Amino acid sequence: RKEVEQDPGPFNVPEGATVAFNCTYSNSASQSFFWYRQDCRKEPKLLMSVYSSGNEDGRFTAQLNRASQYISLLIRDSKLSDSATYLCVVRWSGNTGKLIFGQGTTLQVKP
C-alpha cells in the first residue's frame, strides 16, 4: 500500500464547476498535512496547509479526518488557471521534516 494515495485522474471539468479531490495516508502518526500544486514541468508549490478543524483560502477548502486518515481539497468556481496537478503531502511525526508525496491528481478545467 502506498504511503499517500490519490486518484490520479484526470478530472476534466468545465469552468465554474466545483471539484473535490481526496487523499488517504497510511501512517496514523502523521503530523502535518498539505496540498501542493504542480504545473507542468514546474516545481511543486504550497497551495495550503490542512488543519484538523478544516480551513479555507478563497475558493479552496481543505479538510482533514484523522480518524479515517483522509484529506480532501475542494475547489469552487473552477478557473482555467486552476488546471494543474494537485499533490497531497504528509509529514510524519518524529521525523526530520521530510515530506511524503502522493502521486498527484490532475485537474483540467475546460472553457
Partner 1 sequence: EAGVTQFPSHSVIEKGQTVTLRCDPISGHDNLYWYRRVMGKEIKFLLHFVKESKQDESGMPNNRFLAERTGGTYSTLKVQPAELEDSGVYFCASSQLNNSPLHFGNGTRLTVT
- Per CB under 8 A, residues contacting partner 1 are 2, 4, 31-32, 34, 41-46, 49, 87, 91, 95-104
Helices (H), 1-111: none
CB of 80 to partner 1, least distance (A): 23
CB of 87 to partner 1, least distance (A): 7
- Asked if residues 86 and 46 have their Cβ atoms less than 8 Å apart, the reply is no
Nearer of residues 73 and 109 to partner 1, judged by Cβ: 73
- For residue 80, report the phi and psi dihedrals to the nearest 5 degrees: -55, -35
Quote the radius of gyration of the chain (alpha carbons, Å): 13
Nearer of residues 14 and 97 to partner 1, judged by Cβ: 97
Q: State yes or no: cis peptide before 8, omega within 30 of 0.
A: no
Nearer of residues 44 and 73 to partner 1, judged by Cβ: 44
